[in-house]
Structure 1
Amino acid sequence: MKLGFLTACLPGDDLADIARWAADQGFEALEVAGWPSPDDRNHIRVDTFDQAEQERVGRIFAETGLALSSIAYYENNLHPQAGEQVNAHLRRCVDAAAALGCPTVGTFVGRDPGLSVRDNLDRAARVFPPLVAYARDRGVEIVIENCVMKSWHPDGYPGNLAYSPELWEWMFTLGLKLNYDPSHLVALGIDPVAAAMPYVSEIAHVQAKDTEILPGTINRFGFYGPISGEKGWYRFRVPGLGQIDWRMVIGALREGGYDGVVSVEHEDHVHSGSTERVQTGLGIAYGTLRHLVRG
């Protein structure tokens, strides 16, 4: 396995600077943000990808010796208005990944909040197979993160229909792979180790984020969380500052045969606000995971 991180936590920084810092710290890979402009999470400029951009990105990875593990574009592919635009950009991400020799592109299933879960699954069964075929024809796998995305639903219900093993089994039938993130399972009351073990062969990428349970808060809000805009009963942290037993998680992945990249997804607000604070958080994650990933 190799240890890397998702560049979206450093939206204002240049990819060359991020890559040099990552290599100097001992990271071995980057999962690179590829949202379209004007979103500043576009360290690979997928929407204007051309020969010059291919050469720029390729040179950065060649000079630093890092692996490009995935192009990240996590949006709602079932959005009732923007879905076609999202899918078109996803194809551009696939084209860029193929040109750069990158094995995966990461996204969400999403949902239309105006439809039932069953109707959303039926719609996804029409939307995703052509995307999967497009990617595989170019040597790329589409990987889906198991994030809940409650903010995409007006009542806080799951906005990304890929949050549980039941839904993983369904999306595997469409040819999608899993970008496994244990932090979201903790927040659903699911044991991340027990959940992952039967499906390691379908995991094509891993994101490492931790979950801190805030003492006493669940007694006020309940499992589904607040409706008032208050902070909920958990928050995301960098690995090592939450509840997850990373020794068990990495051990389960290794036992199941996973030998890909473990990519830190930094969404820790304690270690945010500047490049230096984010780098401090990434350093904590590196110290937590390094010996486990390379062991």
Structure 2
Amino acid sequence: MKFGFLTGCLQNMSLEEKMNYAHQVGFTALDVSCWPRENTRDYSGSDIDVENLTDAEVTKIKSDQQKYNIEFSSLAYYDNMLDPDPQIRATYKAHLEAVIIAAEKLGTPLVGCFTGKNQTKSIKENFDDFEVLFTDLVSFAEQHHVKLMIENCPMPGWQEDGLPATISYSPEFWDEMFKRVPSSSFGLNFDPSHLAWMHIDYLDCLRKYKDRIFHIDAKDVIVDEEQFHYYGIFGKKLNRQHEEDLGFWTPVIPGLGDINWSEFYNVMKEIGFDSYFSIEHEDRRFADNNKDVEAGLEYAYNHLNPIIHEFK
């Protein structure tokens, strides 16, 4: 199993500099942020300009990977693939296809994305659109020898009221997704932290969906049960401090939250998971600058590495 992190958390660094840093810490993989060069998404990054990727750049990147002993676990591009604006949706699709082509050129096995949601349509209508779009996208990925995966985040920050803005955040939706697009090349980038704050049993999900879990995001969360019982399952609605402020949960570095990673890893072993395990750094306390981000990554590395390598 390869251990890494999502690269977008480190800003104003080249991809080679990130590989060098990862190697120095002890990481063996990177989940490479591949948003468009011009974008306004939070937690995004553009470490590879996939739409203009040249053969010379591919050669250079592969050489750097060998130099620093770093695999790419995935190329990451997470936007609302079901955006209600047809022109925006077409732009997102074209960029995701460029990410898939780049992954093939680089020998990267996985591409991560979101489903998103069209808030002007019903859930059934969204799934009808999803089936058409993702049947095409998964087929395109297969043609390029890449697997496509969805992260199970509800994206409450995309909606003013903080309600879910994807149709892929729960087992109910996963069952519908895989019924509509049954290809074995379509799966999950499994993030237990979102399941935890939604009060879904992530260990049970890890077991039940083991054949669809291609990649695991190591992200932790603190759930304030007292505030949960105050705000309820739909979360805080007044005086929110930021987009994701639902009042009762906070994303944190692994080891500083509620998830028992030793228990989690035991289930990973039980199901035979041996793919990619990758820190997704969204802890606002370690985000003011790259030095703080690195402190967070290294804390998480020092907490998780002994667990997943079973150091005595």
Structure 1-normalised TM-score?
0.96
**Could you tell me whether the CA contact under 8 Å between 1:44 and 1:57 is conserved in 2?**
no
The structural deviation recorded for 1:217 is 2.3
* Structure 2 unmatched runs, 5+: none
The DSSP-based 3-state class of the residue aligned with 1:217 is helix
The structural deviation recorded for 1:215 is 5.9
The structural deviation recorded for 1:11 is 2.7
Partner of 1:107: 113
The DSSP-based 3-state class of the residue aligned with 2:57 is helix
Q: Which moved more, 1:271-280 or 1:164-173?
A: 164-173
Partner of 1:266: 281
**Could you tell me whether the CA contact under 8 Å between 1:37 and 1:47 is conserved in 2?**
no
Partner of 2:123: 117
CA offsets 1:142-162 (integer angstroms, 9 cap, x no match): 010000101223432211111
1:67 aligns with 2:71: yes
* Structure 1 unmatched runs, 5+: none
Partner of 1:210: 220
Q: Which moved more, 1:279-288 or 1:249-258?
A: 249-258
- Take 1:29 and 1:183, find their aligned partners in 2: how far apart are those partners? 21
The one-letter code of the counterpart of 2:33 is A
- Take 2:193 and 2:133, find their aligned partners in 1: how far apart are those partners? 27
The one-letter code of the counterpart of 2:15 is L
* RMSD (Å), alpha carbons: 1.3
The one-letter code of the counterpart of 2:149 is V
- Take 2:57 and 2:174, find their aligned partners in 1: how far apart are those partners? 34
Identity across aligned pairs (percent)?
Answer: 35
CA offsets 1:53-81 (integer angstroms, 9 cap, x no match): 21232122111011110000011110011
CA offsets 1:239-272 (integer angstroms, 9 cap, x no match): 0000011112222122112101100000000111
Q: 1:201 to 1:215 in 2, by over 3 A?
A: closer
Structure 2-normalised TM-score?
0.91
Q: How many residues align?
A: 295
Q: Which moved more, 1:218-227 or 1:195-204?
A: 218-227
**Could you tell me whether the CA contact under 8 Å between 1:201 and 1:257 is conserved in 2?**
no
The structural deviation recorded for 1:38 is 1.6
1:183 aligns with 2:188: no
Counterpart among 203, 207, 223 of residue 233 in structure 2: 223
The one-letter code of the counterpart of 1:253 is M
- Take 2:176 and 2:99, find their aligned partners in 1: how far apart are those partners? 24
Aligned counterparts, 1:17-166, within 5 A: 17-39=17-39, 41-81=45-85, 82-166=88-172
